[in-house]
Amino acid sequence: MFTIRSFLGSSVKYLSAVTHSVQLQNRMCAGRLPVAAVCQVTSTPDKAANLSSCAELVEEAVQRGASMVFLPEGFDYIGSTRDQTLSLSESLQGPTLSSYRDMARKLRVWLSLGGFHERGPDWETDRRIYNSHVIINDKGDMVSVYRKSHLFDVELPEKGVSLKESSFTVPGPGIVSPVQTPIGKVGLGICYDLRFPDLSAALQRHGAEILTFPSAFTVATGAAHWEVLLRARAIETQCFVVAAAQVGQHHERRASFGHSLAVDPWGEVLGDGGGERPGLLLVEVDLGKVSRTRRSMPVEQHRREPTFYQSVTENWEELSNTSEH
């Protein structure tokens, strides 16, 4: 299972003491479970300040025993205009990811960096970017890059939501294989991808035990859909789901919902970061919960062949007659 270890908040001193005690006990136990850290941040257009804030959370997570740290979409920055968003972007070989590679190597920790503003393949001619989810191992190597497949083009005037991601972002070419990490096989998505269950199902079929959706949900859509979508993806795939989130006011034109979440394969919410401030959620990962859930309710064994779901019979009488032969 995922056991909640702590979240920064009003009881942080007490939780820190408990966490330290648990860590000391775990060090004495050869079979201790791996720990994941799910971070909640408030990015701004100030890349240096964002890096500093994220570095503090990563360092604290490692001190508390985390072997993998999850940062949200836009961990590098959230721009206030289209032009600013594009001008601040970098390549995968740029200084921002170089800093995180050094951080991972120094601290010997795996990093999930979801929602990096990567300059696109035709940057010099079309000035568009990828929204990229980068996995870095504890040696500082980039071991996987997933580019966001589904772009957030939504106009909800009654909710105050107006975003057109496709105006400056290139959709990714495809889904990437789950990554074997110290906490299990992690399937990669980003934010709006959460709304497309086929992506999660494909990752589960390719071995994912944990799905992650680093996000920057708007306040309106987050309040309506965030938790129910994350729980649905967990229940459908019988995977753990972890979702690091942006929270609070990034600049005068944008705010995010927060509520970083950890959900187990049964759909139980095991940790919620709240909607007010940055923080750190630590969870212990027992992959036995995945196998036990799938064994007790073998959904995959009950699934019909793919062609069954690709067509719908118009005439129920014809279907009934066919089934009699």
Domain boundaries, the chain: 2-323
For residues 175 and 191, what is the distance between their CA atoms, to the nearest angstrom?
A: 14
pLDDT tens-place values along the chain, 325 residues long: 444 544 443 333 223 333 333 343 443 344 689 999 999 999 999 999 999 999 999 999 999 999 999 999 999 999 999 999 999 999 999 999 999 999 999 999 999 999 999 999 999 999 999 999 999 999 999 999 999 999 988 888 887 777 789 989 999 999 999 999 999 999 999 999 999 999 999 999 999 999 999 999 999 999 999 999 999 999 999 999 999 999 999 999 899 999 999 999 999 998 999 999 999 999 988 999 999 999 999 999 999 998 888 888 777 676 666 655 5
Distance CA 179, CA 196 (A): 20
Q: Which of 215, 197, 213 is nearest to 205 (CA)?
A: 197
**Residues forming the active site:** 73, 148, 191
| Residues 245 and 260 sit within 8 Å (Cβ to Cβ) | yes
Question: Per the CATH hierarchy, to which homologous superfamily does domain 2-323 belong?
Answer: Carbon-nitrogen hydrolase (3.60.110.10)
Q: The pTM is what?
A: 0.88
Residue 11's Cβ-side half-sphere holds a number of Cα atoms within 13 Å equal to: 7
